[in-house]
Amino acid sequence: MRDDIKALTRPELLTWLETRGERAFRADQILKWLYVRLADRFEQMTDLNKALRSLLTEQFVIHRLGVADTRTAADGTRKFLFRLTDGQTVESVLIPERDHFTLCVSSQVGCAQGCRFCLTGQGGLVRNLNHAEIVGQVWETRKQMDDPGQLTNLVFMGMGEPLANYDNLVKAIEVLTNSDWGMKFATRHVTVSTSGLVPRLLDLGRDTRINPAISLNAVDDATRSRLMPINRKYPIADLLEACRQYNLPKGRKLTFEYILFKDLNDGPEQARRLAKLLAPLKAKINLIPFNPYPGSAFDRPSETRIEAFKAFLMEKHFTCVVRYSKGQDIMAACGQLRGQSGKSGSGGTGATEEPS
Ligand code: SAH
Ligand code: SF4
């Protein structure tokens, strides 16, 4: 079987060219066709000589993710269900903003972290995505858009824990943000959300210049450990210490995500404690009212409670936004993504898929 050329990293492509006596600059020509012009056939690469084009065709394919399904919500949000070569699926969500689009990208099939409020976490981890499958979601989405240039922002907030698939994540970020031969996303427009894998968080600051977002969701260890098992390994103090040390590009802030659960973490005492915890950091806060799914065990607070929580943080001079997730009617909101196995439909009970 021929390999997917996009599964090669740039150094691997360079080596391949070198062993065939080709000049090094050919690598960037090929990469530009793949990632800038979104070519899906080697014949399109007209600035390569015919011999090289035939050699590439013999050895490689330009693989595209299968689009198993797309759904459009009433608010214009589009959810893509992508099929991978082994039949597994992942979801990506294209969110229209005022003057651009944001794509919510998946990093794993399923997730091993087991957060109690998240549908993705209910079935455990199936497998990591390789870097080409991560980039492939963005590539295929751009292919589907009338104006691909309007997709300028990426958030790694789809299925999976990005930092648990670190090497593939970093390789994908390189392709997505390279401004010469890559997909040219500005690093300030790329956000990676994590449940808090402390050592990897510090690595991320060293290896990339993207924006980190930390899913805090609770202000005391007892509550956070109950909601997010990862907290038993990396408790709040360790996580915030890593945030303090994070090598943040100039002028940026760390984003903290805080899901608001009714009667669990939405009171004035928690707001006070959150402000105190984050005061020493360059932090902005995204409040996400809990998004329910069939079988979920939590409720979202009333608007009054949500607004009061936000008002308190604003008074303490935090940048604070309530993220009313879009695409709720098609199960495209935060925490509602699961993908779909061959047998079961999406949007089911959320606990039917077995980890492999
Ligand atoms: N694994 C990463 C990124 C994917 S989850 C992480 O946990 O950060 C993206 C965001 O969705 C996280 O902030 C998570 O806390 C939030 N989330 C998960 N389930 C949710 C739900 N049911 N309602 C609202 N937000 C949810
Ligand atoms: Fe995994 Fe994030 Fe869901 Fe937790 S919230 S189970 S880390 S995807």
Distance CA 201, CA 178 (A): 21
What would the mean pLDDT of 325-341 be, rounded to a whole number? 74
Read off the CATH number of the domain in which 92 is found: 3.20.20.70
Top mutation candidate among 104, 105, 107, 111 for ligand 2, by most atoms within 8 Å of CB = 111
* 193 shares its domain with 295: yes
Is-contact 12 175, C-beta < 8 A? no
Residue from 113, 239, 257 whose mutation best tests the ligand 1 pocket (most atoms within 8 A of CB):
257
Note the pTM of the prediction, 2 decimals: 0.94
118 is catalytic: no
Between vectors from CA 135 to CA 129 and to CA 140, what angle results, nearest 5°?
110
Lowest-pLDDT choice from 177-191, 290-304, 326-340: 326-340
Counting from 1 in the atom list of ligand 2, the atom nearest the Cα of 164 is 7
Instruction: Answer whether residue 326 is part of any domain.
Output: yes
Domain count, the chain: 2
User: Where does a domain end: 61, 89, 106?
Assistant: 61
Provide the residue range defining the domain that includes 291.
66-330
Whether 355 is in a domain gets the answer no
- The pLDDT score that the predictor gives to residue 42 is 98
Ligand closest to 112 (CA) is 2
Assess whether 185 and 233 both reside in one domain.
yes
What DSSP assignment string belongs to 205-234?
Answer: HHH--SEEEEE---SSHHHHHHH-THHHHS
Q: What percent of the chain has pLDDT over 90?
A: 88
Ligand nearest to the CA of 332: 1
pLDDT tens-digit series, residues 314-324: 999 999 999 98
- Sheet of 78-83: strand order equals 66-72, 78-83, 89-96, 101-104, 151-156, 190-194, 211-215, 254-260, 283-289, 319-322
Same domain, 16 and 146: no
The three-state secondary structure class of 274 is: helix
CB atoms closer than 10 angstroms to residue 181 = 18
What are the counts of helices (DSSP H) followed by strands (DSSP E) for the chain? 12, 14
Domain identity same for 14 and 102: no
CA of 115 to the centre of ligand 2 (A): 5
Tokens linked to 235: 């408790």
* Distance, CA of 329 to CA of 78 (rounded, Å): 11
Looking at residue 256, the DSSP 8-state letter turns out to be: E
**How close is the Cα of 94 to the center of ligand 1, in Å?**
16
178/284 same-domain check: yes
Cβ–Cβ < 8 Å for 337, 93 = yes
User: Is there a single domain that holds both residue 174 and residue 36?
Assistant: no
Do residues 14 and 83 both lie within one domain?
A: no
Let me know: does 270 contact 324? Beta carbons within 8 Å.
Answer: no
pLDDT, tens digit (0-9, with 9 covering 90-100), for 30-44: 999 999 999 999 999
Residue nearest atom 26 in ligand 1 by C-alpha distance: 335
Is there a domain that residue 336 lies in?
A: no
Specify the residue with its C-alpha closest to ligand 1, atom 8. 194
Percent pLDDT > 70 in the chain is: 95
334 is catalytic: yes
Using one digit for the tens of pLDDT, what is the confidence trace for 63-82?
A: 999 999 999 999 999 999 99
- Quick one: 30 and 170 in the same domain? no
Which 3 state secondary structure label does DSSP give 168? helix
| Cα-to-centroid distance, 118 and ligand 1 (Å) | 6
Report how far residue 86's alpha carbon sits from residue 73's, in angstroms, rounded to the nearest whole number.
28
283 and 325 co-located in one domain: yes
Task: Give the length of the chain.
Answer: 356
Distance 336 CA to ligand 1 centre (A): 9
Q: What is the pLDDT of residues 98-110, one digit of tens each?
A: 999 999 999 999 9
| Amino acid found at 324 | Y
Q: How far is the CA of 25 from the centre of ligand 1 (A)?
A: 42
Q: Counting ligands in written order, which one lies closest to the CA of residue 335?
A: 1
**Per-residue pLDDT at 29 exceeds 70:** yes
Q: What angle do CA 49, 11, 102 make, to 5 degrees?
A: 95
Residue 124 lies in a domain: yes
The average confidence (pLDDT) of the chain is 93
Ligand 2 pocket (Cβ < 6 Å) reads 111, 113-115, 118, 120-121, 160-161, 195
When pLDDT is cut at 50, 70 and 90, the band that residue 336 belongs to is confident
Question: What pLDDT was estimated at residue 349?
Answer: 27
Find the catalytic residue in 104, 115, 320, 334: 334
Catalytic residue among 22, 91, 133, 161: 91
Shared-domain flag, residues 176 and 284: yes
Residue 356 lies in a domain: no
